[in-house]
Structure 1
Amino acid sequence: MSKLDEVAKLAGVSKATVSRVINNSETVSPAARQKVLDALQALQFQPHELKRSSSGGGNGVLGMILPFGKQIWGHSFGIEILAGAEEKAFEQDCLILLGNSNGGRETALTGSMIGRGIEGLIVMSSERGQREHLQQVQAHGIPLVLVDQKVEGLGAHLVRGDSFMGAVTLMTHLIGLGHRRIGLVSPNKHYTYTERIKGYRYALMEHNISSDARFEALESEEQPAAGLLSHMLDADERPSALFVTSPGMLGTVISVLNQKRLRIPDDISLVTFDESYTALPEEYKNFFTSINQSGKLIGTIAVELLFRQQRDPQLEPQEIVLPGTFTARRSVRPLL
């Protein structure tokens, strides 16, 4: 007989009631809760000893799959998500099994983690348009939470930053300082970046500024951002400001601007997202006007959503959207 069974028998309640009590559910009557607490005391059991049993005799391991790239930088967005998730998991006596999906390994890692009996999975999906491997997670009854990237056609819990409104905020700031020719430098894939592109275009429309495809450097496998930006800056009418949607592109953008002998912000202003999550030369630390997201908070909430699903497998998918923090710095100057 498991410890969960022992407590349920002594208290005269169901195992489900015991599970709800030890997970601090509010759906238990005061009388039933007291019976369970008395049984725990009589048997000299601690609540954390039963949590593994209440989730089906699991091993206390949560899975996390993130695309770190070839090198893992110590203060990257992914590391911050992992830090928040690990702290929250540790509070509940759980460990994190981490997988780096760089190189197209997301599907294989997902299958491997299912086979290892994880009790929940957090994924920042980089497999655009693919969802079958994540549907397999759900088919196995394993709680699933997506972070940062929405997967179209998949009904799953999601925690992400507000990329659309963040982009609108940055663009509104530039427009308010007199900028009208604003260039866009962005990846042209994944939900996060498509939302930022939409925000860029929406802000222009809201201020009756015509959208110009010549000012959009949308990177693809066929067209690297450096070449597209170089072409944009060589035009007779170049932008007075740039919106760089990805912090990973800042190094490339700075390099191209240096080649063109354009200084930030004297010759061109620049705004971006999450510059704190990329390695930059010392002179660019605390320099860029930006929207910054809390990766740590995203990771914390993602794990909490896993625990909620464990307590209530019928929990309807939730999309939690976290606003970023806008900070105006030296990379922008008013257009005279």
Structure 2
Amino acid sequence: MQYTRRAFAALAAALSSSFAVAQSYPDKPIRMVVTFPPGGSADAVVRMIVPRLNDKLGQQVVVDNRPGAGGNIGLAIVAKAPPDGYTLGVGAAGALSANSSLYAQMPFDVQKDFKPVTMLAAIPFVLIGHPSVPAKTQQELVAYAKANPGKLSIAHGGNGTAMHLSAALFSQMADVKFVEVPYKGSGPAALDVLAGTVPLAVVDLPAALQHIRAGKLVAYAVTSPQRLPQLPDVPTASEAGLSGYDSTGWFGVVAPAGTPAAIVNKLNAEITAALNDEAIKTSMRNLGVEPAPSKPEAFDAYIRSENTKWARVIRQAGIKIDQ
């Protein structure tokens, strides 16, 4: 009985301390390390929610852009920061899932060095082609590629990017061989498909949407599990014959491991509320990204599943990034 009373007393003290931490946090500015340069989708989304966070938290959230090494540079800063809630990181699918299989050495361990806070957004991709390609549907494209192995080239946004991995997963699931052509981003890749320089590409939606709507590019499929409201007539890759295909880019907020749960939960509540704001949701969708708030536990489980999934794809494709 005495042990039970002591246990309850200890639990009560811990809960009281946690509540006190949450009540006092934050009492100084918060640094948000964004692992992308200014102007990109992730940076734009963070800057959309920052004014609301400033208001609700009562402290300024300062955006610190630290791009490079596929997101590893910025997240390494977060991994080494004190676990007090005053340094947060915004990382993407690469740095938080694929990079551990792409890079021979990593400056952090995703599973050990971070506490997931929430996913921010999902970024669907689209498989596009030049109208001269003798295939107008995904099924026809797969059939043509199988009959002509290595004849078609497919562009993507750069080695090791989510678009590169999307193309690799497509090739593996469809059992076809493409010649991969890396570009520095979706924009240049889409423009070269538009010009007929390369026949196919996996790109993000903003790079291709207006050209698809104008009939200048063929949209074979979207890579997300659901169809996109911007392209309601374009099937998902899964619907079009690759059952279970899902390759969605994403980015989210993490804190250093050891950050008190009370602080993580408070941040989660405020960021989630911002992402659910109708004006912010509309602005995000206009960028071609889908709001994707989640609980910390769900985001943690998703990161783990993505690590397993992409490790398998990367190993099979033999993809490596030189440092």
User: Shorter-chain TM-score: what band?
Assistant: 0.3 to 0.5
TM-score between the two structures when normalised by the length of structure 1: 0.43
Q: Which has the higher contact order (CA 8 A, sep 6+)?
A: 2
TM-score between the two structures when normalised by the length of structure 2: 0.44
Larger radius of gyration: 1
